[in-house]
Amino acid sequence: MIVPANTWQATAAACLDVNAIPVLVDVEPDTYCLDPEKAAAAITPRTRAIIPVHLYNSLADMDRILELARQHKLFVIEDCAHNHGSQWRGRGVGAVGDIGCFSFQSSKSLNAGEGGFVMTNDDRLFERLYSLRNCGRMRPDADPSNWEPVQSGNYRISEWQAAILLAQFERFPAQLAKREANMTFLNEQLGQIEGLKPMLRRPQVTRQGLYQYAFRYDPEAFNEVPVEAFRRALGAELNTSVGGMYYPLNHSPLYQPHTKRRHHLSDEYWQAIDPKRFNTPIAERAFSTESVILSHPHLLADQDNLGDQLSRI
């Protein structure tokens, strides 16, 4: 399975859980999302799926990814954990590929503490997903021709979590619109500061949600001050936490397939899942020298307040 190097470790770990091989592919320098051309180069006859991750305030190039999937007869599994409410060509992310996955972990723009949501437009996959989340049971009114027995467990959302999420939908559209307007404002303002670059927003992105707001920092424009120092200084000025990109998965302390002996299915598989075998220079640069990230609640501020904060940079 094709997985971007810049993502939370769970994206790749899900592949390991079904004995697949996560093939780590580098990202685009202006979105930090999966690079479709690098993905194309990584596809082999054994490839079964591409997992684009819509990361922070960027969307993966779904046009090119869907083209690759059609060409090679692959599934597309969208990781939308960071992009509740975003749209690609007027269609909600998660509904563009074969399966869409969302997270409701406590830091997300829609949250229930933990857990998530999976969606699909495919009837057969829908019945399969229902069974996987509900102890392997068949849905009561399912079409038997779209279902087959499967070993699974209890992955059901609780009624309490569902109630918490449903209540948030009343305010979410207004929050989404405000965050998007403030994102546009920040992109315009930061683009005027030498050495700071907003992330690319493609014209196909017709609505943009986000988990965190990312932009790019060029140390050369700031007398080679390291990005870690810039983050600390900005955080002190804004009295908030300012972070950076996830560790690239080939160097992540959280993505360690070789620490679980159950993954040693064979020597060949053991070697194939070693994340250190992948070379991802763009992802590594984003992490070590370039990315600056603010959490999404900041984008619920009034623009006057945002402008005041920008004046401190």
Q: Annotated catalytic sites, by residue? A: 108
- Half-sphere exposure of 301 toward its Cβ, with a 13 Å CA cutoff? 18
Q: Kindly list the distances between the CA atom of residue 20 and the CA atoms of 2, 46, 224, 267, in Å, as whole numbers in the listed order.
A: 10, 10, 42, 14
The Cα–Cα gap between 11 and 248 comes to 12
What is the gyration radius of the CA atoms in the chain, in angstroms? 20
Report the DSSP pairing between strands 205-207 and 291-295.
unpaired
Q: How does DSSP classify residue 287?
A: I
Question: Which residues are registered as beta bridge partners of 120?
Answer: 99
What distance lies between CA 156 and its chain's CA centroid? 22
Tokens at 70, concatenated: 């059609």
Angle at 212 between CA 176 and CA 202, to 5 degrees: 70
Q: What are phi and psi of 80, to 5 degrees?
A: -110, 20
Give the containing element (helix H, strand E) for 77: strand 75-79
211 close to 111: Cβ distance less than 8 angstroms: no
Q: For residue 24, which of 283, 286, 289 has the smallest C-alpha distance?
A: 283
CA distances from 311 to 60, 127, 184, 213 (A): 31, 53, 17, 18
